[in-house]
Structure 1
Amino acid sequence: MTGNPTLSPKTFTEAGRVMPGEAMTVQGTVNKTAILLLLTTVAAAYTWQLFWKGETAFANLWLMGGAIGGLIMAMITIFKKEWAGVTAPVYAVFEGLFIGGISSLFEKQFPGIVIQAVMLTFGTLAALLAAYTMGLIRASSGFRRGIFAATGGIAILYLVSMVLGLFHIQIPLIFGAGPVGILFSVAVVIIAALNLVIDFDFIESGAQQGAPKYLEWYGAFGLMVTLIWLYMEILRLLSKLNRR
């Protein structure tokens, strides 16, 4: 199993095989990931500049709309993989609107934090991709099980936190800027980063198995889900460090 809920061992095998010219490739997935990153960046720049212009109410609408829209498009993409060529770009735009708003709020409180988070996110991506390409790290079955369990635990913890938040109850320590909170964020960043390795492995496997071309968009979507999660966790970690 994979820690990333968008990619599973059956994602590519269930789609069947096609002729070589119609099959997905790693390079095709990389190209589509670049397109999604561009769409996310452009949308993020829009809500970012709204906040900095002082149009907070309008910007908040886009932020919330991006969060809700991104979740809806993610679910549609997961259940209708063949639609990924349309839904993945729309997901990227929605997530960009959300990320741009959130990032501007962090930046106003801690100047310089966003560029640090962006550099660390892409630095982590580059380092793990290089390590994976050179064979220094591989997604063995034990590795996948461990990351899946850890990712699932984090998801449950966040869900519980959201539910408790509705009743104005906060889980102590882990979301604070103390040593426990910082160690928790470091652990989550590591888990999020290691999900990238599993994503690389599944995309490579899909290309080797001759999966349909539309799964290039789906593979790119899966990578974007992990990258956005990693960026948000790094941003959260940096904010804790800045509050100390």
Structure 2
Amino acid sequence: MSGYYTPEEAQDVFLKANEAYAREDYAAAQEGYEKLLSRGHGGPDVLYNLGTTQLAKGDLGRAVLALEQAKKQGGRAPDLEANLAVARARQVDKVVGAAADEEFLPRVTAATDGSLVAWTFLASWVGALLLLLAWRLSRPGRRTAVGLLSAVLLLVALPSGVLLAAHAYVEQTVHEAVVLAPTLVARELPQPGARSIFEVHAGLKVRLLEETGRFVRIRLPNGLEGWTEREGVSEI
């Protein structure tokens, strides 16, 4: 087969993968979803189905990775959150203090839809500018109403602009990953023989801080940090 799918071919592969999942042929289902992703026909639905398939197979690390990627790309279905909850319940690591120690900006951006924030800012800002122009051209008797509406839109544009900037900042500076290895040793230094300080297991979401050679420094949700093998984690 060629390296490109037409929309019709992609839909056919997607439906066949769904059928394979329904008959519990998880290997065939996974192969179908991964083909779509490798040929540019991804998106939240494909990633969600891939994550659900890997969860059924017991591949916890890759299941969480695909589900988190689906969430990052805009997937908001209740089933997505439900499957993530199932995956978290199966994780070996139960990190205490995750909610309390999570940073403010990532929490805010995770709770808001970036595309909705962007469109809200754009619409309110452009609308306010157009109304200001209309205010200058309108008759004196209508200027009060036009001015008030423009002020309201500017008041909406200001916080949405700040929130949009927060999304951009987090996107550029915060890099999250999922542990794929069944057991991954975190060391004090980025060296194979360095002292082990803790272990993490498949499915745990961590923060990537820096990279050197084949090692990356990770931070757990409770703030604990260490160096691990790069191949043991995958960025969301």
Q: TM-score of the superposition, structure 1-length normalised?
A: 0.26
Question: Normalized per residue, which structure has more strand?
Answer: 2
Between Structure 1 and Structure 2, which shows a larger proportion of helix residues?
1
